[in-house]
């Protein structure tokens, strides 16, 4: 198993992509500390991986608080003695146009998505630079870091910021044996996507029209990319953003969608 003996922290791990990442890393041998603002739910998710708590721990964590993200990283080192993998996945979106976005919503999204990623990376890096084997940080970006969606203002801005943050950390920590990469999913079949952009057949058809592979991605497919970037197999990869988006990036026209939509 490629993560045997490693210690990983995953934020936003109570559900969706974060949970899939924790499950994948755990299945590959890592001990995981799972953080989420939904404390009870993430504790249940960790118990489902290991009821004894010996290899999986759930902990309430609001990543927009530097103190709480520091405490999450400390939980890993206090419990398991080190921190090898940090997955900054926690994120949130809000629908609003450039004329409608409020200061409150902007601050909330930037605080969770971008500030949380910054201080999660920092907390992990401070541990990793002191370790002989360094470590790997993987940040959750989005296809929206590059593609503009009119009613997704702070989310797109936050994800573009994560791309640059990733590159800065990668260059700054390269001589300390700490790698930093990001993953930018397209539309993934999660509760968040279903609630936000899959509210009708017309919305689903629109998503598929810009997805050459003709289906939504699965959280497990994103987790596989995260696991690779966190592994020794990616030991010469840093400062990169990989987009598991079904081919969306190169599209400059819409794709034909069958009348009978694929099942969600």
Q: What is the pLDDT of residues 176-220, one digit of tens each?
A: 999 999 999 999 998 888 776 777 888 889 889 999 999 999 999
Q: Residue 254 pLDDT more than 90?
A: no
Phi, psi (degrees; rounded to nearest 5) at 261: -75, 145
Compute the distance between CA of residue 1 and CA of residue 29 in angstroms, rounded to an integer: 6
pLDDT value of position 136: 98
pLDDT value of position 264: 80
Compute the distance between CA of residue 83 and CA of residue 105 in angstroms, rounded to an integer: 33
> Which tops the pLDDT comparison, 158 or 1?
158
Q: Residue 170 pLDDT more than 90?
A: yes
Compute the distance between CA of residue 241 and CA of residue 229 in angstroms, rounded to an integer: 10
Which pTM does this prediction carry? Answer: 0.94
Domain limits, the chain: 7-188+219-242
Confidence of residue 251 (pLDDT cuts 50, 70, 90): confident
pLDDT value of position 32: 98
Tell me the average pLDDT across 15-21: 97
Q: Residue 9 pLDDT more than 90?
A: yes
pLDDT value of position 203: 85
pLDDT value of position 96: 86
| Whether the Cβ atoms of residue 237 and residue 38 lie closer than 8 Å to each other | no
> Which tops the pLDDT comparison, 262 or 139?
139
pLDDT value of position 252: 74
> Which tops the pLDDT comparison, 202 or 231?
231
Phi, psi (degrees; rounded to nearest 5) at 255: -95, 150
What integer best gives the mean pLDDT of the chain? 95
Phi, psi (degrees; rounded to nearest 5) at 65: -100, 120
Q: Residue 7 pLDDT more than 90?
A: yes
Q: Residue 146 pLDDT more than 80?
A: yes
pLDDT value of position 82: 97
Q: How far from each other are the two terminal CA atoms of the chain, in whole angstroms? A: 31
Q: Is residue 155 annotated as a catalytic residue, yes or no?
A: yes
Tokens of 96: 């609003």
Residue range 7-188+219-242, CATH number: 3.40.50.720
| Whether the Cβ atoms of residue 139 and residue 241 lie closer than 8 Å to each other | no
| Whether the Cβ atoms of residue 37 and residue 13 lie closer than 8 Å to each other | no
**Catalytic, out of 155, 236, 243, 253:** 155
pLDDT value of position 70: 98
Q: Residue 73 pLDDT more than 90?
A: yes
Tell me the average pLDDT across 132-151: 93
H-helix segments, the chain: 16-27, 39-49, 66-80, 103-109, 116-128, 153-173, 191-196, 201-209, 219-230
């Amino acid at each position: 198993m490629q993560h045997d003996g490693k210690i990983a922290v995953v934020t936003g791990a109570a559900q969706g992509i974060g949970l899939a990442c924790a499950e994948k890393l755990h299945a590959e041998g890592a001990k995981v500390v799972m953080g989420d603002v939904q404390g009870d739910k993430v504790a249940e998710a960790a118990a489902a991986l290991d009821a004894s708590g010996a290899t999986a721990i759930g902990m309430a964590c609001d990543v927009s608080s530097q103190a709480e993200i520091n405490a999450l990283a400390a939980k890993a080192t206090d419990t398991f003695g080190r921190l090898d993998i940090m997955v900054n996945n926690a994120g949130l979106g809000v629908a609003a146009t450039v004329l409608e976005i409020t200061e409150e919503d902007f601050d909330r999204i930037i605080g969770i998505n971008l500030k949380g990623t910054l201080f999660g990376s920092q907390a992990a890096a401070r541990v990793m630079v002191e370790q002989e084997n360094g470590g790997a940080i993987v940040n959750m970006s989005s296809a929206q870091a590059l593609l503009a969606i009119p009613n997704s203002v702070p989310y797109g801005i936050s994800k573009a910021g994560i791309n640059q943050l990733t590159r800065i950390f990668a260059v700054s920590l390269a001589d300390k044996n700490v790698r930093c990469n990001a993953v930018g999913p397209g539309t993934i079949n999660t509760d968040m996507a279903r609630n936000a952009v899959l509210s009708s057949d017309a919305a689903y058809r629109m998503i598929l029209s810009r997805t050459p592979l003709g289906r939504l991605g699965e959280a497990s497919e994103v987790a596989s990319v995260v696991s690779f970037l966190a592994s020794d197999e990616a030991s010469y990869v840093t400062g990169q953003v990989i987009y598991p988006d079904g081919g969306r990036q190169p599209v400059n026209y819409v794709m034909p969608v069958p009348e009978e939509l694929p099942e969600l």
